[in-house]
A and B are shown apart, each in its own frame.
Chain A
Amino acid sequence: MSLLEINKRIVDEVIKRGAYQTEVISNSVKDTTTRFTKNAIHQNMASHNQAVSIKAILHEKKIGIALVNSLDKNTIINGIERAMSMAKVSPSDPDFKSLPDPKNVTPLKSIYYKETAEYDPEEKAKSVKLVIDTASDYNTNIKWSAGLFTTQVARLAIANSLGLGVETEYTNASLEVITRAQSTGSEGSGFAVKRVKNAKEIDFTQVALKAADDAVTTMNPQRIPLGEYEAIFRPEAGTLFTDYIGSIGFSSKSYNEGQSPLIGKLGTQLFDEKLTIWDNGRSLDTNIPQAFDGEGTPKRALMLLNGGVPENLCYDNYNALKQGRESTGHAPISLGGPRDSPSPIHKIVDIGDASIDEMIEETRKGVLITRFWYVRTIRPDLGTISGMTCDGVWYIENGEIKHPSQQMRFTDSFVSILQNIRLIGKKSTNEITPSTTLPALKTAHFRFTGHTDF
């Protein structure tokens, strides 16, 4: 029996017990993770998780949720009873209008690959060994490599009592490599990542070489002064700012709570006109496309930022109906959880016309940044965030890379950073992060506020 068929049976059972509406979400996830460090595998695992989330809604708009980790009949009946008993004591939610009506969902092709599902442990270990050996052979200064290789096969089904029923199965795989090089006691660090749907598309040698090359070229980093710099963000780094503007800026929930920096600015020229960002869950150009959202609403293209003008917010069904709108298909998949904030997780940034080399040539005093680490929000309404650079920063002067830099703390506003975008890369990638397909970005102003010792 498919997950969707199980969900439909549960829907019938909940309605039989007197619920006004009900929604059942179930998933089955098979994960494998091979972690390695200092040139050896140290953690190697597989797991098969499954969950069924049952939401019971009574006539008085009282809602209860139960989550069970088993498809066993008795456990599911127990879950139904728990959801009903939770609903009975719940206060009414006057903002709840209805679960979504069924809409036509066209399934996506090319999101499931048996090559990913069938990648066996020995093959994985050999792939990891290839990464380790490739990096070690690249340069005598290479000290060690670390990282992880993951595969995932996921099945997701959603049914509700209004007749909605959708199901999907998809795969993804990722390889992340961190390589350290050492010269006269000073370390360099390189990072490379590849996220794909078909694990056979990972070129292990290429990923290893990129991490190794950056490790070697970041040896002997120097401390640069605190202050303002031009900054070139590789896609791994640039995704930080598009994710922030997506989750805080374009979420209808954070907008209505007064947390979004876009409040009162929709339809205005807030950002540089070169910047255009879509969200399109159906696009195969995104890393993990989805045909429907966490409520079963079809995914579709939504213009977020059009030539620097923020245009549309993201809604799930609950927040949309509360404001007399229609869901944009941005309900997160939330099993047993509260309503998470609807936000864009399939962003596509339009490409520009510059290469990273050209960005460097046009930089007077700046930095090239590989990625960030441990970034947190200081003030969401201003977009102020703080965090560290990670694995590869180079100082640029008068159009040339002068030397690698030590890691730096920045404190700045992602709004201001995106307002000052000067150049956009001409080559986009969807293999860096699951949330955004984007090119490199260059901003005119980026503030470093702290040093560290490495």
Chain B
Amino acid sequence: MQELAEKGLERALILGAEYADVRIIENERRTISVRDSKSDKLSHTLGLGFGVRLIYNGGWGFAGSREVTEESVNKTVDQAISIGRASSLTTKKKVELVKVPSFVTSYETKIVKDPMSVPLEDILEVLISADKAFRSKSPHVRSTTSQIEARREIKYTVTSEGSKILQKFYLCGGEGRGIVRGNGQTQKRTYEINYSSRGYENIEDVDLPALASQAALEAESLLNAESCPLETKSDIILDDSNLGLQIHETIGHGTELDRVLGTEVDYAGMSFLTLDKKGKFRYGSNLVNFVADATVEGGAGSFGFDDEGVPAKRVDLVKEGRFVGYQSSRETAAEIGDYSSSGAMRASSPLNLPLVRMNNINLLPGDWKSGEIIEDTKDAILMRGQNLYSVDQMRLNFQFGPEIGWRIKNGEVTEVIRNPNYTAMSYEFWSSVDAIARDGWTMYALTGCAKGKPVQGVVVGHGGSRTRFRNIRIGVTGGT
């Protein structure tokens, strides 16, 4: 396989490509899911394919195929050349890439237990136990699902600048949820094992049935809970995967340089963080620090090298509340005069073009103890569980509706609140932060971050800890 990649690269250069890279990827995925305590999906996916990306006469060309033979590689390279030639018909300036050293090396996710070798019976037992645990605690349950997934990917990347990089990745995680109906309400509660670049130990470290039981109790409590107060302002506290989603939608997507430059306007949108704002714009309070960090051990978005051969790195995005940097590629970095890429280029499959994608976008820990944030709060709502999320094209106005809330009153967690939601402008929201915990910092993950056309879904990580936001608009229902 590696030889075919190198032959493809050689052919691209002989045919006149000014730059080329070839990725050959072999991947495997096991998905085990249970619905209503019965098997829903036991599937095993085996994939192989390659993609050729090149610059010809200043224009980009890309072609990919699942047929990994010499004949197919030759044909696909020829196709990429003709596409590059066609692209050059509209280019106003030739593509420029910032420099990157060449690497001949390998990288492998550190794992303890190969998730592909775990007997399926063992995984099913965990899932069915969790599913039954939810049902046993929930007399109003209508449906339950739970899933564990493991992925393995071997990627070989060669570039015309001399890099030859072999990477082997593992990813493992899962989740479950139950839908309950009663008292005129339909509610759901989700429990998760965050996807992580780890082996099956990521599953074994978590007591999934215990999480399911807790989720069921919370779902039941929602059926008789008070509604979120309507159209008012309140302090809110976030401390679970919904915080990860909030980071994802406002900070993660907002700092992608390709959006700023308009290359996603036809699908994923743009960003209000225009070039003039870099280094000047206040995106959060002084407590707020964000990094893009592909080096975090176990992070769902961690890797050794991105798809352009740029080594994993940690870059500042927001420092003490000030917007200071973008997630970038070699081309977008060159376009704004930066000297290096942030190392963000990833494709979801060998048949897709690499795009600027989040790796792990993390909110750095603060100085507070988690418990102190609650004790210090007079009146607020603690909101948990990913549910509704909607953000405008520029990543400014958003509305989130987590699964569950609890009222915090005079330093104590009190009654459950159903259908909580909040809305704000991104920069106002992060500027309202007045407390971030130093403990309980967790790497969350999103498995379906969508971007590009054809749409590519990738897994990304988001680290964070309990955070308090002041005076946020809540309870927006439009009167429904």
Query: Per-residue 0/1 for A258-288: is the Cβ within 8 Å of any B Cβ (1 yes, 0 no)?
Result: 1100000000000000000000000000000
- Cα-based distance from A68 to B68 in the complex (angstroms): 14
Select one of A43, A63, A178 contacting B39, CB under 8 A. A63
- Residues of B421-439 at the interface with A, using a CB-CB cut-off of 8 Å, are 421, 423, 425
Q: Which residues of B contact A379 (CB under 8 A)?
A: 186, 419, 480
Q: Find out whether the CB atom of B392 lies under 8 angstroms from the CB atom of A384.
A: no
Cα(A128)–Cα(B59), bound, Å: 14
Residue numbers in A under 8 Å from B46 (CB-CB): 66-70, 75, 78-79, 82
Provide the residues of chain A in CB contact with B396, threshold 8 Å.
Answer: 452-454
CB distance A44 to B87 under 8 Å? yes
Q: Which residues of B contact A82 (CB under 8 A)?
A: 44, 46
**Contacts of B64 on A, CB cut-off 8 Å?**
45-48
A196 within 8 A of B: no
Question: Interface centre among A146, A150, A451, A452, by most B CB within 10 Å?
Answer: A452
Interface centre among A50, A178, A381, A450 (most CB of B within 10 A): A450
Is A156 interfacial (CB 8 A cutoff)?
A: no
Which of the 9-residue segments A8-16, A28-36, A302-310 touches chain B? A28-36
User: Is A124 on the interface with B (CB-CB < 8 A)?
Assistant: yes
Is B281 close to A, CB under 8 A?
no
Contacts of A337 in B (CB 8 A): 41, 43
Does A380 contact B186, Cβ atoms closer than 8 Å?
A: yes
Number of A-B contacts (CB under 8 A): 273
CB-nearest residue of chain A relative to B258? A42
* B453 A35 Cβ-Cβ under 8 A: yes
Alpha-carbon distance between A67 and B44 when the two chains are bound, in angstroms:
6
B85 is an interface residue with CB less than 8 A from chain A: yes
Q: How far is the CB of A48 from chain B (nearest CB, A)?
A: 5
Question: Chain B's nearest CB lies how many Å from the CB of A261?
Answer: 10
Is B43 a contact of A45 with CB atoms below 8 Å?
Answer: no
**Which chain A residue has the least Cβ–Cβ distance from B39?**
A90
Measured in the bound complex, the distance between the Cα atoms of B33 and A339 in whole Å is 11
Q: How far is the CB of B369 from chain A (nearest CB, A)?
A: 34
Residues of A99-157 contacting chain B, CB below 8 A: 120-122, 124-126, 128-129, 132, 144, 146-148, 150
- Whether the Cβ atoms of A69 and B48 lie closer than 8 Å is yes
Q: Are B397 and A451 in contact (CB under 8 A)?
A: yes
Contact of A38 with B by CB under 8 A: yes
Q: With A83-B44, A339-B40 known to touch, is A453 a contact of B399 (CB < 8 Å)?
A: no
Q: Is A409 an interface residue, CB under 8 A from the partner?
A: yes
> Least Cβ distance of A162 to chain B in Å?
21
Interface assignment of A7: CB less than 8 Å from any CB of chain B: no
Say if the beta carbon of A358 comes within 8 Å of chain B: no
**Are A336 and B43 within 8 A (Cβ)?**
yes
Q: How far is the CA of A381 from the CA of B234 in the complex (A)?
A: 27
Chain B residues with Cβ below 8 Å from A178 are 265-266
Measured between beta carbons, the chain B residues less than 8 angstroms from A373 are 269, 392-393
Contact digits for A38-72, partner B, Cβ 8 Å, 1 yes 0 no: 11111111111110000000000011111111100
Stretch of B6-14, B99-107, B120-128, B155-163 at the chain-chain interface: B120-128
Residues 68-90 of chain A: 1 if any B CB is under 8 Å from the residue's CB, otherwise 0? 11100001001100110111011
Residues of B within 8 A of A380 (CB): 186
| A382 interface residue per 8 A CB criterion | yes
Contacts A38-B262, A40-B92, A129-B89; A86 near B43 (Cβ below 8 A): yes
Q: List chain B residues, Cβ under 8 A from A452.
A: 392, 394, 396-397, 425
Partner of A124, one of B86, B124, B142, B480: B86
In the assembled complex, the Cα of A386 lies from the Cα of B478 at a distance in Å of 9
Structural contact, A374 and B392, CB atoms closer than 8 A: yes
Of the stretches A165-173, A396-404, A410-418, the one at the interface is A410-418
Interface residues on B, range: 35 or more
B39 pairs with A388, CB closer than 8 A: no
Once bound together, how far apart are the Cα atoms of A390 and B391, in whole Å?
A: 12
B210 at the interface (CB under 8 A from A): no
Give the one of B38, B390, B397, B453 with max A CB within 10 A.
B390
> B117 contacts the other chain (Cβ, under 8 Å)?
no
A37 touching B265, Cβ below 8 Å? yes
Whether B394 pairs with A454 at a CB distance below 8 angstroms is yes
Quick check: A39 and B66 within 8 Å, CB to CB? no
A49 with B351, Cβ < 8 A, contacts A68-B46, A381-B186 known:
yes
Cα of A124 to Cα of B59 in the assembled complex, Å: 14
B444 interface residue per 8 A CB criterion? no
Residues of chain A within 8 A (CB-CB) of B120 are 85-86, 89
Residues of B within 8 A of A31 (CB): 454
Residues B478 and A447 in contact, CB atoms below 8 Å apart:
yes
Beta-carbon contact of B91 and A41 below 8 Å: yes
Q: Which of A235-266 contact B (CB under 8 A)?
A: 257-259
Most chain B CB atoms below 10 A, which of A337, A378, A447: A378
Q: A41-B91, A410-B478 are in contact. Are A121 and B45 (CB under 8 A)?
A: no
* Distance, CA A268 to CA B305, complexed state (A): 59
Residues of A within 8 A of B275 (CB): none
> Quick check: is A357 within 8 A (CB to CB) of the other chain?
no
Decide if B315 is an interface residue (CB 8 Å cutoff): no
Nearest CB on B from A102, distance (A): 25
Whether A377 sits at the interface, judged by CB under 8 Å, is yes
CB within 8 Å for A453 and B476 given contacts A89-B121, A381-B186 = no
Find residues 409-429 in chain B having any chain A CB closer than 8 Å to their own CB: 419, 421, 423, 425
A257 touching B42 in the complex, CB below 8 Å, given contacts A378-B477, A450-B476:
no
* Nearest B residue to A374, CB-CB: B390
**A375 vs B34: C-alpha distance when bound (angstroms):** 29
Task: Encode B441-459 as 1/0 by CB contact (under 8 A) with A.
Answer: 0000000000011100000
Q: How far is the CA of A60 from the CA of B293 in the complex (A)?
A: 48
B83 to chain A, nearest CB (A): 5
- Inter-chain CA distance A453–B86, complex, in Å, is 38
Q: Contact: A63 with B42, CB < 8 Å?
A: yes
Q: Judge whether B129 is part of the interface by a CB distance below 8 angstroms.
A: no
Identify A48's interface contact among B66, B121, B261, CB under 8 A.
Answer: B66
Q: Are A43 and B263 in contact (CB under 8 A)?
A: yes
B266 touches A147 (CB 8 A): yes
Cβ B62 vs Cβ A126 within 8 A: no
In angstroms, Cα B32 to Cα A82, docked, is 13
Interface contact B480-A411, CB-CB below 8 Å: yes
Interface flag for B389 (CB, 8 Å): yes
Contacts of B62 in A (CB 8 A): 43-46
Chain A residues, CB < 8 A from B44: 64-67, 79, 82-83, 86
Is A93's beta carbon under 8 Å from chain B? yes
Among B92, B401, B419, the most chain A Cβ lie within 10 Å of the Cβ of: B401
Given A49-B66, A374-B269, 15 more contacts at CB 8 Å? A41-B60, A46-B80, A65-B41, A65-B43, A69-B48, A89-B121, A89-B124, A90-B124, A91-B38, A374-B390, A378-B387, A379-B186, A384-B480, A447-B478, A452-B396
A-B contact pairs, 5 of them (CB 8 A): A37-B263, A45-B83, A338-B40, A376-B389, A450-B399
